[in-house]
Amino acid sequence: MTNRDILLAKLKAEADRDINIRALFAAEPDRLSRFVMREGPLRADFSKQALDKQGLDALLDLAAKCDLEEWRAKLFAGERVNTSEDRAVLHMALRGVGGTAENQKEVAEMRAHMAAYANAVREDGKFKNIVHIGIGGSDLGPRLVADALEAAAEQSLTLRFAENVDGASVNDAIKGLDPAETLAVVVSKSFGTQETKMNGESVRDWLGEFGSKNMIAVTANRDRAENFGIAAENIFDFWDWVGGRYSVWSAVGLSLQIAYGADVFAEFLDGAKAMDLHFRDQPLQENLPVMMALVSVWNRNGLGYGSQAVIPYARRLRKFSAFLQQLEMESNGKSATREGKATGLTCPVIWGDEGTNGQHAFFQWLHQGPSEGRYGGAPVDFVAVLKDHEDRPAHHAALLANCFAQSEALMLGKDEAVVRAENAERADIDALAPQKTFPGNRPSTTLTLDELSPTALGHLIALYEHKVFVQGVIWNVNSFDQWGVELGKVLANTILDEMGAGETGDHDPSTTALMGMV
């Protein structure tokens, strides 16, 4: 066993005791003040986690012994913390934090280019629509932010997205639009991603005579973009030190700037910058992303939970769970360490949906379902926005009431004795009582935003980015590569070529039979 394995085993032993969350409030009068943290417009309440002071001390000790502070310094200094690809990781530089003078010069030039272009498009008025073409990090981040910005910013152009290779995606994106009034933004780091390339070609064909004028590209591969037919002056760069799932802050967000304005996008960047500085400068015990990560490690490695639910009680954040699936599971869904050795438990499954929809779907399992985790169900991150942006105060009050009630219900539960007292007249009480009993003691964190402003949104996304980094340090995995996505893509290209040629190639019997059906 490595020293890290020993440390995680000690953490598991520390967590192997019965902890009652409700009892912690009685035993720790200052619990709320110690387990609530705030940075700017974002407040995080960890007090409903099955974690006491003793457990938190063990987690902080684990972080220190995993050299978290040293790794954090390397990240912001621009050292090559993406070891398998020998790259620095500097998405924070897109927000004005970290990196070299050369990095900052490149970023400043690109931000000026983006702002000038966005302003020109908005002022010209020729374009009424934007079709953003990308997938993965080139789609999830912009799509999440586009939804969220509608709460507090006015959208000047219609913004649609084409991501899936399914023809329905591109058809839905262009339906009812006029090619003469539509700007297509093709976003691909390599400019070779199958889905983006096919959707780009389909939109280019749909644009017809406007194809060469109404398309721009965001890429790290200028040659491919130019070969596709996009003019050099309409190509916006981003760099190999920006991972796709961390790229919404770059020119990947150009569609957002055009739709909502450069000033709104700058506020979004500034919100993330504030969280960057907090993460960089605050000691571990007062550091919000560190606390988020340590709670997750406690639930995963200590309490044994295999999944984590994220429930935004805000329709404008309905893509947040999907965004985090990529951010967390692509980053830390690894079973090999930086040195190529086997890991222990790493990233849990991330899942969820918007509240209150989930209450009528999977909350049954959250409240009463079994789990491999110590207390059943799965830990939940609730995300709520305190300000009503929809001018429907009654709706908003009901939304928040549901959010707050669910976290309380997960913690408190309902004892069988109470159920029996409430249903004493029932002849079938012995069968019914266990079915209506809620075990409770199920952990959750509640994140609240004062309002869904661009600044608050930047805080929220950067919080989870840094959480992922801290987890990766503790688990000793490289959070910035994604080799696991490659094999299926390679095989898909092979199968596509064979299907086009009427061949089946050398495959297993099941795959061969499936190909023969087409």
Catalytic residues: 330, 360, 489
Show contacts of 393-402: CB within 8 Å, 24+ apart.
Answer: 399/313, 399/314, 399/355, 399/356, 400/313, 402/313, 402/355, 402/356, 402/359
Beta strands 36-39 and 42-45, pairing class: antiparallel
Tell me which residue has tokens 């980015």.
465
Query: What's the rounded Cα separation, in Å, for the pair 40 and 42?
Result: 6
Q: Where are the beta strands (DSSP E) in 79-156?
A: 129-133
Structure-block tokens of residue 373: 């985790």
Query: What's the rounded Cα separation, in Å, for the pair 150 and 158?
Result: 12
Q: Which of 225, 263, 231 is nearest to 122 (CA)?
A: 263
One-letter amino acid for residue 379 of the chain: P
One-letter amino acid for residue 249 of the chain: W
Cα 155-160-161 angle, rounded to 5 deg:
135
Query: What's the rounded Cα separation, in Å, for the pair 148 and 141?
Result: 11
Which helix (H) or strand (E) element contains residue 228? helix 222-228
In this structure, are residues 37 and 278 in contact, taking their beta carbons and an 8 Å threshold?
Answer: no
Q: Report helix, strand and coil shares of the chain as percent, to nearest 5.
A: 55, 10, 35
Which helix (H) or strand (E) element contains residue 404? helix 393-412
Q: Give 444's DSSP letter.
A: E
Q: What are the φ/ψ torsions at residue 491 (nearest 5 degrees)?
A: -65, -35
Which helix (H) or strand (E) element contains residue 513? helix 509-516
Q: Which of 384, 394, 388 is nearest to 354 (CA)?
A: 384
One-letter amino acid for residue 201 of the chain: E
- Contact residues for 499 (Cβ-Cβ < 8 A; gap 6+): 515, 518
- Contact residues for 45 (Cβ-Cβ < 8 A; gap 6+): 32, 35, 36, 445, 446, 447, 448
Query: What's the rounded Cα separation, in Å, for the pair 121 and 128?
Result: 10
- Contact residues for 268 (Cβ-Cβ < 8 A; gap 6+): 145, 149, 249, 253, 256, 454, 455, 457, 458
Q: Give 348's DSSP letter.
A: P
